[in-house]
């Protein structure tokens, strides 16, 4: 096996290349990207990068010289447009065709569009890449009223950043609570209060009918009323970029389906990161996760297979989101919990334990990094944690594990 081609020069794609070289892989590695830059981190794009003085060089995942030193060929701004599985070739937009022995698809996700009139007006933005963040950052410097459609991680992070820059901010969420897909109800309530305390207007159960304006957006009409805005961010979730895989006949269902080793329905092709759907012992049924942890650990799994020391992907899922001065951290997958025990320090910090029946699903913390790390260790070790134990007033997770 000599030629590894990776489609998608993001968090997961880069990590495959890095881990292969670290493991002594001597063959050729080609990283195919559709952006005009070397691989960079996305998390700061909705946070620190939206402040005026944050340089792009601070986002780089590796310095420029790394790629030549490590003999990793990066083909930027030249997306893969077709996979030919019988001949094991990837065709690029430029017309170039790359033969591969093993291929990794790390194509990430794209933003879901808002299917209403006015969604294409000037002043209406979405955020996925550095180019989007640069435009949004400039616009934040000129605008007075930001309206965010979608109260998920990214919408709320941008809302907090914009409040930090002094804009008036309104968040419209379609569901009955914030971040409803990923956090437990008490954590949603905590962040609702926190954003309101930051001065943001947050409205739940909102149905957006249209965006209005002539040349540029002037406001958003909902089923309940009208909200003026001179800048709008649409952050209503993402969908996997699995179009290449689908066109090539790979098994896809809400993403590219993979086994425990990240192998797709074609044994020569892997899929990892935001575009991949897999079975996790931490979930019931197949999941597709959008996080740096998931992208990096799945990439390491692929490298382990290619290096002949295959280790199945079995990491504890973990996430973070920085909103204003609040660091939310989640260990495990807490969706589907039927009981949540909240230990609230009452000092703007929080720890919430989620259970389904007697099974401990995960822990959510705000500004409690010690408990987050302890929760990750607990889940990795399949350590049992009982509901009545965490409810005891003197329960301390860190000493419990010691
Ligand atoms: P990506 O990093 O998105 O990389 C995929 C790459 O593939 C992209 O460059 C894409 O353009 C490219 N591509 C797609 N199709 C093709 C093609 N046909 N040919 C060539 N290239 C192609 N996660 C956290 O854990 N914590 C956070 O705080 C956090 N904050 C975030 C904030 C923002 C604004 C965003 C957008 C994401 C955030 N995430 C966060 C999510 C995290 O960044 C992603 O889960 C992670 O980047 C996924 O890695 P990936 O390699 O699967 O996809």
Using CA of residue 158, residue 163, residue 167, residue 173, what is the dihedral sign?
positive
106 and 170 share one domain: no
380 lies in which domain range? 325-401
Residue 146 placed within a domain = yes
Is the pLDDT assigned to residue 96 strictly greater than 90?
yes
Residue 317 placed within a domain = no
Helical (H) or strand (E) element with 148: strand 145-149
Interatomic CA distance for residues 373 and 370, integer angstroms: 5
Nearest CA to ligand 1 atom 26: 320
Using a 6 Å cutoff on CB, does residue 164 contact ligand 1?
Answer: no
Say what the pLDDT of residue 253 is.
97
Interatomic CA distance for residues 255 and 105, integer angstroms: 11
**For range 233-251, the mean pLDDT:** 98
Nearest CA to ligand 1 atom 4: 10
Q: What is the DSSP pairing of strand 286-287 with strand 276-279? A: antiparallel
- Grouping H, G, I as helix, E, B as strand and the rest as coil, residue 92 is strand
Q: What is the CATH number of the domain that holds 54?
A: 3.50.50.60
CA distances 371 to 222, 330, 349, Å, are: 40, 10, 11
Q: Quick: pLDDT tens for 137-189.
A: 999 999 999 999 999 999 999 999 999 999 999 999 999 999 999 999 999 99
Q: Quick: pLDDT tens for 316-375.
A: 999 999 999 999 999 999 988 999 999 876 788 999 999 999 999 999 999 999 999 999
Q: What is the DSSP pairing of strand 97-99 with strand 89-92? A: antiparallel
Nearest CA to ligand 1 atom 49: 11
| Residue 74, beta-bridge partner list | 31
119 and 219 share one domain: yes
Using a 6 Å cutoff on CB, does residue 324 contact ligand 1?
Answer: no
Residue 39 CA: nearest ligand 1 atom is 9
Task: Give me the residue label for tokens 């897999």.
Answer: 278
CA distances 397 to 71, 151, 341, 368, Å, are: 45, 30, 13, 11
Residue 316 placed within a domain = no
14 and 68 share one domain: yes
- Grouping H, G, I as helix, E, B as strand and the rest as coil, residue 265 is coil
Say what the pLDDT of residue 116 is.
96
Residue 320 placed within a domain = no
Say what the pLDDT of residue 343 is.
87
Q: Which long-range contacts (CB under 8 A, 24 or more apart) does 381-390 make?
A: 384/360, 385/353, 385/360, 386/358, 387/339, 387/341, 387/355, 387/358, 390/341, 390/343, 390/353
99 and 135 share one domain: no
Residue 45 CA: nearest ligand 1 atom is 34
74 and 150 share one domain: no
Using CA of residue 304, residue 309, residue 313, residue 319, what is the dihedral sign?
negative
Is the pLDDT assigned to residue 1 strictly greater than 80?
no
Say what the pLDDT of residue 347 is.
82
Say what the pLDDT of residue 176 is.
98
105 and 49 share one domain: yes
Q: Quick: pLDDT tens for 112-129.
A: 999 999 999 999 999 999
Residue 318 placed within a domain = no
| Residue 203, beta-bridge partner list | 172
Cβ(154)–Cβ(46) under 8 Å?
yes
Residue 281's pLDDT band, with cuts at 50, 70 and 90, is: confident
Domain boundary among 183, 205, 234: 234
Residue 59's pLDDT band, with cuts at 50, 70 and 90, is: very high
Q: Quick: pLDDT tens for 360-398.
A: 999 999 999 999 999 999 999 888 888 888 888 788 887
Q: What is the CATH number of the domain that holds 341?
A: 3.30.390.30
Say what the pLDDT of residue 397 is.
83
Is the pLDDT assigned to residue 77 strictly greater than 80?
yes
Is the pLDDT assigned to residue 201 strictly greater than 90?
yes
Q: State the total domains in the chain.
A: 3
Say what the pLDDT of residue 345 is.
65
Is the pLDDT assigned to residue 282 strictly greater than 90?
no
Q: Average pLDDT over the chain, rounded to whole?
A: 95
**For range 233-244, the mean pLDDT:** 98
Using a 6 Å cutoff on CB, does residue 30 contact ligand 1?
Answer: no
Nearest CA to ligand 1 atom 32: 43
Is the pLDDT assigned to residue 274 strictly greater than 70?
yes
């Amino acid at each position: 096996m000599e030629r590894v081609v990776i489609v998608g020069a993001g968090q997961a794609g880069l990590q495959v290349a890095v881990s292969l070289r670290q493991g002594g892989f001597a063959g050729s590695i080609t990283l195919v990207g559709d952006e005009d830059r070397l691989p960079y981190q996305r998390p700061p794009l909705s946070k620190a990068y939206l402040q005026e003085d944050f340089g792009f060089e601070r986002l780089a995942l590796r310095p420029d010289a790394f790629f030549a030193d490590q003999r990793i060929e990066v083909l930027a701004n030249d997306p893969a447009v077709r996979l030919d599985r019988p001949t094991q070739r990837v065709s690029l937009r430029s017309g170039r065709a790359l033969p591969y022995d093993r291929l990794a698809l790390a194509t990430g996700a794209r933003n879901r569009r808002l299917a209403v009139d006015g969604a294409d007006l000037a002043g209406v933005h979405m955020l996925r890449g550095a180019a989007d963040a640069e435009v949004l950052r400039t616009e934040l410097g000129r605008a007075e009223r930001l309206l965010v459609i979608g109260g998920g991680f990214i919408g709320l992070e941008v809302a907090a950043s914009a409040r930090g820059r002094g804009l008036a901010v309104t968040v419209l969420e379609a569901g009955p609570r914030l971040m409803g897909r990923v956090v437990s109800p008490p954590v949603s309530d905590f962040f609702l209060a926190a954003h309101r305390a930051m001065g943001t207007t947050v409205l739940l159960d909102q149905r957006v009918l249209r965006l209005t304006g002539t040349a540029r957006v002037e406001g958003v009409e909902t089923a309940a009323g009208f909200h003026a805005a001179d800048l709008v961010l649409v952050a209503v979730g993402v969908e996997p970029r699995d179009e290449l895989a689908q066109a090539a006949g790979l098994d896809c269902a809400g993403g590219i389906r993979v086994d425990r080793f990240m192998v797709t329905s074609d044994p020569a092709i892997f899929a990892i990161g935001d575009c991949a759907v897999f079975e996790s012992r931490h979930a019931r049924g197949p999941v597709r996760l959008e996080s740096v942890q998931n992208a990096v650990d799945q990439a390491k799994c692929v490298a382990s297979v290619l290096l002949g020391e295959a280790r199945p992907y079995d990491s504890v899922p973990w996430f973070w989101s920085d909103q204003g001065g609040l660091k939310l951290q989640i260990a495990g997958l807490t969706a589907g919990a039927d009981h949540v025990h909240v230990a609230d320090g009452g000092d703007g910090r929080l720890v919430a334990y989620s259970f389904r029946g007697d099974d401990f699903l995960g822990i959510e913390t705000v500004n409690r990094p010690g408990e987050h790390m302890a929760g990750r260790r607990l889940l990795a070790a399949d350590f049992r944690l009982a509901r009545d134990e965490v409810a005891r007033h003197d329960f301390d997770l860190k000493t419990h594990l010691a």
